[in-house]
C-alpha cells in the first residue's frame, strides 16, 4: 500500500491528477483569487521585510548594521517601559470596563417591556460606535473645555459644586478616568449587540422554571441570564485581550504633552520617535515595533490556549 494513497469505499485506489492539470481545470477560480492574493502579499507581507532594519542604524545619513544595539537600548529606556506599562493598564482596564458596562446595559435592554422603547434605546446606544475617534475627541474636548463653552464645567459651576473650571484633559489624575468614560460611551453599543444575541438564544423554559419556583426578576437575571452569558463574556475578553497592544487612535486624539506619564502607549511612542524627532532613527522604532508584535503574538497564543480550555476550540 502506497503512503498517502487515497482509496474509495470499495477499496479501489484513486488516481491523483497532476498539479498542473488541477490548476488548469480550476483556472477560473485561481484567477478570481489572484487579485486578493496580490493585495494581501503587498499590504500585509511585503512591509514585513522592513523588520531587518531593527538591526540597523537607519537614519537619513547612514544605514549601518548594529546587531542588537536597539534592543539593548529599548530595554534600558525608562520611557519605553512607561509606554509599555501604560498600554497594558489602559487596554486591560478599558476592556474590563466596557465589557461589564455592555453586559449590564444588555440585561437592562432585555428587561424592558416596551419593544419600541427597547429598539430606540438600543439604537441610541449603538450610534456612537459609528463616529470616528477624531469626531469623538472633538465632541468631548468641547464638552470638557475650561472655557465658557465647556458644558460640564459650566454645569458644575451653576450647581455650586466647583468654583474654578477643572481641566479634565490636562490633569494627570483625571485623564485616565475621562479616557475610560469616553470609551464606554463609544463602544458599549457594539458590545450590547453581541450580548443581546446571546440573551435572545437562552431557552425560555429556564425562565418559566424560575417563575414556577417563585423567582423574582433580579433572581432570574442573576441565576439564569448571567450564567448563560458567562461563556460569551469569557470569549469576548479572550479575543480582545489578544489585541491589547494595538492601542493607538483612541489615545492619539485625546492625549497631550502634559499627560504623557499616564497616556503614552507603545504605538504613540513609536509615532513620536519616528515623526516628531529632528533626526529619527528608524532602526530603533522598528525594533520597538518588532518587540510589540512579538508580545502581541505571545498574547494571541496564550488567548488561543485559554479559548481551547473555555470553549473547546482555539481562535486560530
Q: Are the C-beta atoms of 229 and 103 separated by less than 8 Å?
A: yes
Q: What is the pLDDT of residue 28?
A: 87
User: How many angstroms separate the CA atoms of 138 and 117, rounded?
Assistant: 29
Residues of the chain where predicted confidence (pLDDT) is lower than 70: 1-17, 310-311, 313-316
What is the rounded radius of gyration, in angstroms, for the C-alpha atoms of the chain?
A: 27
CATH of domain 69-311: 1.10.3720.10
Read off the pTM: 0.82
Q: What is the pLDDT of residue 307?
A: 72
pLDDT tens digits, residue range 90-138?
999 999 999 999 999 998 988 888 888 888 888 889 899 999 999 999 9
Q: Which residues of 171-201 are buried (b: 16+ CB within 10 A; e: fewer)?
A: eeebbbebbbebbbbbbbbebbebbbebbee
User: How many angstroms separate the CA atoms of 39 and 140, rounded?
Assistant: 37
Q: What is the pLDDT of residue 74?
A: 92
Q: What is the pLDDT of residue 184?
A: 94
Q: How many CA atoms lie within 13 A of 289 on its CB side?
A: 22
Domain residue extents for the chain: 19-65, 69-311
Q: If we measure between CA atoms, which residue out of 265, 269, 289 comes closest to residue 277?
A: 269
**Residue matched to cell numbers 494595538:** 246
For the chain, give the number of residues.
316
Q: What is the pLDDT of residue 314?
A: 65
Q: How many CA atoms lie within 13 A of 244 on its CB side?
A: 27
Q: What is the pLDDT of residue 275?
A: 86
Q: What is the pLDDT of residue 203?
A: 86
Amino acid at each position: 500500500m502506497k503512503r498517502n494513497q487515497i482509496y474509495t469505499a470499495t477499496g479501489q485506489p484513486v488516481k491523483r491528477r497532476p498539479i498542473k492539470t488541477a490548476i488548469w481545470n480550476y483556472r477560473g477560480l485561481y484567477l478570481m483569487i489572484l487579485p486578493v492574493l496580490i493585495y494581501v502579499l503587498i499590504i500585509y507581507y511585503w512591509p514585513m521585510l522592513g523588520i531587518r532594519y531593527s538591526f540597523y542604524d537607519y537614519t537619513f545619513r547612514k544605514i549601518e548594521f548594529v546587531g542588537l544595539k536597539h534592543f539593548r537600548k529599548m530595554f534600558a529606556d525608562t520611557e519605553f517601559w512607561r509606554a509599555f506599562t501604560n498600554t497594558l493598564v489602559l487596554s486591560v482596564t478599558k476592556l474590563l470596563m466596557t465589557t461589564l458596562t455592555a453586559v449590564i446595559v444588555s440585561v437592562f435592554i432585555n428587561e424592558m417591556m416596551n419593544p419600541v422603547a427597547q429598539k430606540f434605546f438600543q439604537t441610541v446606544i449603538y450610534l456612537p460606535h459609528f463616529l470616528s475617534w477624531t469626531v469623538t475627541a472633538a465632541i468631548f474636548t468641547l464638552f470638557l473645555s475650561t472655557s465658557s463653552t465647556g458644558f460640564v464645567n459650566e454645569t458644575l459651576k451653576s450647581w455650586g459644586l466647583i468654583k474654578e473650571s477643572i481641566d479634565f484633559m490636562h490633569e494627570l489624575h483625571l485623564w485616565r478616568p475621562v479616557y475610560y468614560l469616553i470609551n464606554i460611551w463609544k463602544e458599549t453599543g457594539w458590545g450590547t449587540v453581541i450580548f443581546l444575541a446571546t440573551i435572545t438564544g437562552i431557552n425560555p423554559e429556564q425562565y418559566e422554571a424560575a417563575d414556577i419556583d417563585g423567582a423574582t426578576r433580579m433572581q432570574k437575571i442573576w441565576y439564569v441570564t448571567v450564567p448563560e452569558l458567562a461563556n460569551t463574556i469569557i470569549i469576548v475578553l479572550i479575543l480582545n485581550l489578544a489585541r491589547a497592544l494595538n492601542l493607538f487612535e483612541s489615545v492619539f486624539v485625546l492625549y497631550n504633552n502634559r499627560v504623557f506619564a499616564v497616556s503614552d502607549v507603545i504605538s504613540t511612542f513609536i509615532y513620536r520617535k519616528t515623526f516628531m524627532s529632528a533626526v529619527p532613527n528608524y532602526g530603533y522604532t522598528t525594533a520597538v515595533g518588532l518587540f510589540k508584535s512579538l508580545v502581541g503574538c505571545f498574547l494571541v497564543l496564550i488567548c488561543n490556549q485559554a479559548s481551547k480550555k473555555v470553549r473547546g476550540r482555539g481562535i486560530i
